[in-house]
Amino acid sequence: MGFDLGNMLQQYLGGAANANPAQAENDFDHVSQNVPREDVARGVTQALRSDQTPPFPQMVGNMFGNSNPDQRAGMLNQLLASVGPALLSGGAGGILGNLLGGGQNRVTPEQASQISPDQVTQIAAQAEQHNPGIVDQMGDFYAQHPTLVKTLGGAALAIALGHLAQGMQRR
pLDDT of residue 13: 75
pLDDT tens track for 130-161: 889 999 999 999 999 999 999 998 888 988 98
3-class state of residue 96 by DSSP? helix
pLDDT tens track for 27-77: 898 889 888 999 999 999 999 999 989 999 999 999 999 999 999 999 999
Least Cα distance to 72 among 115, 43, 19, 131 occurs for 115
pLDDT tens track for 96-107: 666 666 556 788
Q: 0.75 exceeded by the pTM?
A: yes
Q: Round to whole Å and give the CA distance between 45 and 138.
A: 7
Q: Round to whole Å and give the CA distance between 171 and 168.
A: 5
**Contact call for residues 25 and 150 (beta carbons, < 8 A):** yes
Q: Round to whole Å and give the CA distance between 54 and 105.
A: 30
pLDDT of residue 163: 85
DSSP state of 46: H
pLDDT of residue 112: 92
Residue type, 125: A
3-class state of residue 18 by DSSP? coil
